[in-house]
Every structure is written in C-alpha cells, then in structure tokens.
Structure 1
Amino acid sequence: MTSVSAPARLAPPDRRPSIPGRRRPSRPTPRAVRTWLAFLLLAGPNVALLLVFVYRPLLQSFYYSTLQWNMGSPTARSVGLGNYVEWFQDPTTADVMVTTGVFTVATVGGSLVLGLGLALLLNRRLKGRGFARAVAFAPYVLSGVAVGMLWLFIFDPRYGLLSAGLRVIGLESPDWYTTSPWALVMIIVVYLWKNVGYVALIYLAGLQAVPLELKQAAALDGASSARTFRSIVLPLLAPTTFFLTVTTLLSSLQSFDIIQAMTKGGPLGSTTTLMYQIYEEGFVTGRAGYASAVATILFLLLLVVTVVQLRFVEKKVHYA
C-alpha cells in the first residue's frame, strides 16, 4: 500500500496593516541626478564665492563690532555692545545721519527726475541720437576718483570754469571747498552728473517698451501729450521706477569715492556720510572695532530700507 504525502503548506499572505502616508523611499532617477549635478556645476562656484567673500566677512564684521580693537594691534578686548552705545551717544552721530539723509534724498530724487527727463529727450527722433545716448551714459562707467578730481578744477572759486561762467552774469562763485552748505551741494551735483546717465538708460528701455497702440488710442480720444504721459506712460513705468529707486538708494547710501576725492568728509564733517565715517574710523583713526559697529549699523539700515521697499512700496507697482 502506497502512502500519499501531505501537500506542502503555503505561506499565509502578509496581512500586516499598512501605515497611512508612508511610502517606500524611491531611488533618484538618472535624470534627477543629472539635474542636480548640473545645478552644482553652475551654481556651486557662485555660492562658494558668496560664502567666502560676502557672508564670511559679514559675520566677521559682526564679531569685530563687539571688540575694542585697533587696526594692526595683535590683541583685542571684548566690549559687547559698547561700540554701539558709544556711537548712539556720540554728539556727531546726529550730524552724520542728517548729512546722509540729505545726500541720499537729493541724489535719489534728483537722479530719478533728471534721468526721466533725459530719457524722454533721448527717446525722440533726433539726429545723432545714438551718439548723444553714449555721451550721456559715459560718466557712469568712469572712475569716481577721476570724476571727483576733474570737478575739483571746475568748482575752483578762482580759476574754475564754473566761477568764470558766474562772473559773466555778474555773480561771485562761493567757496565750495571750505563753506559748509556749498561743499555738500558740490558733492550732490557731481554725483548726479555721474549717475544720471545710468538712470536715463534704464528709463529709456522702459519708454521703448510702452505699447505704441496705447499712445495712439489716447491721441484719438483727444488726450494731450501731458495727459498721455501722466495717465499712461508713468503708470507703465512703475516697475522701472521701483527698480531704480531700490538700486539708486542703495548706491547713494554706499557712496564713498567722490567724497574721498573732493572733500574727504570736510569741511568740519559737513560731507561725512555714514559710509565715509566707516572709512575714517577704520583707516584714519584705526579703530577697527568701532568702524565694524558703524558698518553693521549701515548694513541693518540698508536691510530695513530694502525690506520696506519690497514689502510696502512694491504693492503699489503694477506689472503689466
């Protein structure tokens, strides 16, 4: 009698409850790997340069601002927030901030108004328009020190070109170098002359982007040129104006070269801005820790101004 073997028992199915929301980790696809490698190849060097030459010095400046350290000294003493307290209690701080505010408002507002007017002029169909555009933009690419040295001869109260022109109409030239209000006016004029070409170039690009159909429709409706400019062109230039406001404001707050070449912060500190005070404290008096504290204050001021512009001003800008 033959025996029949029992059938093999099958393993029961896995009835363990699955955890909701949990997925098996998926391996990256070759395409994703190539994308990340391309990103690291292209953005990696830029990120490395930013970390080494921007963010690392910034963090070091924060650290130095808590030290009482003279330039070149091998030792330093921690003072915490002492440098900041000293800056806020310094009687010259108010004058520096007022000078910085006047210089910034005058240069930013003047650059926008004069740049827009120059752009409107250069946007017309005139002979030699290309050459005029190049001449208007040329001062922006020149060295600030060279521009300052050139204008020193123009503003010379005895032999300068400006004094000669004023004598022709019966006026005496003020002493631009040693008179407190006129020295700041001189710096503002030179800064506007150097940077108005940049603003005009950006505005010119914005003007050429305005649709011609809108202007023609406004003309058919009987709108004057001034009304067309006020109601159509200016609103369409709002993104350009916002961009120029941000860039010119940051540039004005960090202006140094023209002041150094023409007045060196004088007379009696009447042209000493916050940026120039950093240079004086760090490289003239040698107080590197105090200069780092002033630089940190300037950085925070730039950060606040930029955030306010991006948070509140940009809301009123319509991108069409």
Structure 2
Amino acid sequence: MATTSVTPRSRSAVSPAASAAGGKVYSPYSNWFYLPAAVIYGVLFVIPTFASLYFSLTRWSLFESKFIGLENFQLFFQEPQLIKGFTNTLIFAVVTSGSKVVLGLLLAVLLTSRIVGRGYLRSVVFFPVLVSTIGVGLTFTVLMNPERGLINGALEVIGINGPGWLTDPKWALLSVALVDVWKGVGLATLIYIAGIVSIPREYMEAARVDGAGAFETFRRIVLPLSRPATVTVIILSLIGGLRSFDLIWAMTRGGPGFTSDVIASVIYKQYQAGFYGLSTAGNVVLFVVVTAVILPLFWFLNRKEVDM
C-alpha cells in the first residue's frame, strides 16, 4: 500500500488560513452560485431604486426629462392633503398590524389545540390570503353598500341601523382596515402556528406537571417563546400597512372626499394628473418613511432574546 508524505516545502505552500481550516484550500468557485441572485436583485431592485432617485429630481415624461433639483420634493410637501394622508397611513398601519397580532395569536392557539376539524379550519382561515386584493375590495364594496348591502341587511333583521361603511367619513378608513385584517390575518396565524409548534413539548409537559392552567401556560410559555413570530408579524404587517394602496383604492379611492386618503393614494392621484416627477418624489419620500419606521422598530424588537 503506497503512502504519501508531506515534505517541508509542500507544507510551506499551504496558506495559514488553509492550515487553520484543516488543510483545506479555499476556492472561489462556490461564490459564482450567488451571481444569478445578485443579477436579479440588481435588475429588479438596485437599478430601479437609483433610477427613481434620479427621476424624482426631474420633470419627466415618457420621452424627455429635465433636471429641476429638489423642486418636486418642495411641491410634494406643499400638497394640501399630505398631512391627512400621513395621519391616515399611520392609523391604518397601527390598527391593521395590531389587530393581526392579537387575532393571529389567538387563532393560532386555537388551531394548535386539540379541536375537531383543525386542519380544515386552518385552511379556512388562510384562504382569504390567496384571494386577489382587488377582488376582495370590490366584493366588500358591494357587501358594505349602505342601502342594498348584505351586511346592513343582516343588521336590520336584528333591529340595528347599519352605518354608511364606505360613504361616512367616520367609518370609511376603519371599514377598509377591517377588510384588510380579514384578508391578512391568515398569514399572521400561519406564522404564529409555526412558532407555537416549534416550542419544545418538554416545556408544556413541565408546566402541566407543575399544575399550571391553560392561561398560565399561555402567559409564561407560549407568549414569550412566540416572540420571534410576533416580531415577524409586526414588521410584515406594518410594512404592508404603511404601503397600503390597492385595497383602499378599490373600495373608496380615498373618499368620501379625501377622508380615507393615504400617502400612496395621494401619490397615485398626482401620477393620474400627469405630474410624474412629483409622484416619483412622493414614492421616494414613502420609501424613506417606511425605512425610518421599520429599521429602528426592528432593532428595538430584536435587541434582546427570550431567556430560556
């Protein structure tokens, strides 16, 4: 049987890093597998982002553009409905994300317990997530019709005079938020189910042995150990709420008047009016606002881990 020996010269040819890695020689070959993803990310995100930054500084149309500096941003911040749009955006984001966290956690606890038809109920809860947002908006616009809608018709049967869900300024934004919660709570529930299922069974058994009830087990085990799922739901829901547009536009178009306008609908109305550079500047502002809210919140929620 032939044996090989490493001469002093061959030892010196191996780099210190390779020696520290057990004699393995580094090869850049595996890094090439990142190239397709990097190209797609660059084409679909990096290039459009920098293009938007440039066009926000211009007055442009489909065939020409003229550099005007920060004039678009000055005009955008002078928009009469901007403050209302910012306020509605924050209200919409907080209401929808908070509701999804609470309802998603409660539904996940229910759907991970021993109940009949648990698998079927999970499918029912998640089904609205799969439906088109525009389709949901149009459907609920019909259901919430104050005169012929099914919701007010059902309320009249039990003696309640239903409000103008989408025509009353006091109810319009809240009505759209409730529909958004109905559509998106399934995803929050799925994330919470994954978090609860991943909790080691030993903790549940230890709590049962110690005589802890269902509420005590939920408060001391399920709730703290579901923190990663809670962070995920909060971040995703807030991003969706701050960027909300399609459901609001399908149901109210920012009305009645401007009472349910959000930042995205204000930007879209500027685009409809032909102010393309102005609307691009608005998109840049929206991007900065979402980033300024989400990044500090993400750091705050992840600054400490659950003590095991």
* 2:75 is equivalent to residue 83 of structure 1: no
Note the alpha carbon deviations across 1:96-130, whole angstroms, 9 max, x for none: 00000100000000111111111111112122111
- For the aligned residues, what is the CA RMSD? 2.2
Identity of aligned residues (%): 34
* 1:207-226 equivalent positions in 2, closer than 5 A: 207-226=196-215
Amino acid aligned to 1:294? G
Give the secondary structure class of the aligned counterpart of 1:259: helix
Q: Which residue of 2 aligns with 1:267?
A: 256
| Structure-2-length-normalised TM-score | 0.88
* 2:106 is equivalent to residue 117 of structure 1: yes
**In the alignment, which of 157, 160, 178 is matched to residue 149 of structure 2?**
160
* 2:45 is equivalent to residue 54 of structure 1: yes
* 2:127 is equivalent to residue 105 of structure 1: no
State the distance in 1 between where 2:26 and 2:307 align: 34
Q: Is the 8 A contact 1:83 1:293 kept in 2?
A: yes
* 1:126-137 equivalent positions in 2, closer than 5 A: 126-137=115-126
Q: Which residue of 1 aligns with 2:31?
A: 39
State the distance in 1 between where 2:112 and 2:104 align: 12
Moved more, 309-318 or 259-268: 309-318
Q: Which residue of 2 aligns with 1:250?
A: 239
Amino acid aligned to 1:134? S
State the distance in 2 between where 1:203 and 1:80 align: 47
Q: Is the 8 A contact 1:239 1:319 kept in 2?
A: no
Bigger Rg, which one: 1
* Alpha carbons of structure 1 residues 25 and 65: separation in structure 2 relative to 1, 3 Å: farther
State the distance in 1 between where 2:98 and 2:228 align: 16
Paired residues, number: 291
* Alpha carbons of structure 1 residues 39 and 120: separation in structure 2 relative to 1, 3 Å: same
State the distance in 1 between where 2:79 and 2:246 align: 25
4+ runs deviating over 4 angstroms: 23-26, 28-31
State the distance in 2 between where 1:155 and 1:316 align: 44
Q: Is the 8 A contact 1:239 1:318 kept in 2?
A: no
Amino acid aligned to 1:59? F
| Structure-1-length-normalised TM-score | 0.84
State the distance in 2 between where 1:297 and 1:85 align: 11
Question: How far 1:37 moved relative to its partner?
Answer: 2.8
Q: Structure 2 regions of 5+ residues with no counterpart?
A: 1-11, 19-23
State the distance in 2 between where 1:300 and 1:197 align: 29
Amino acid aligned to 2:39? A
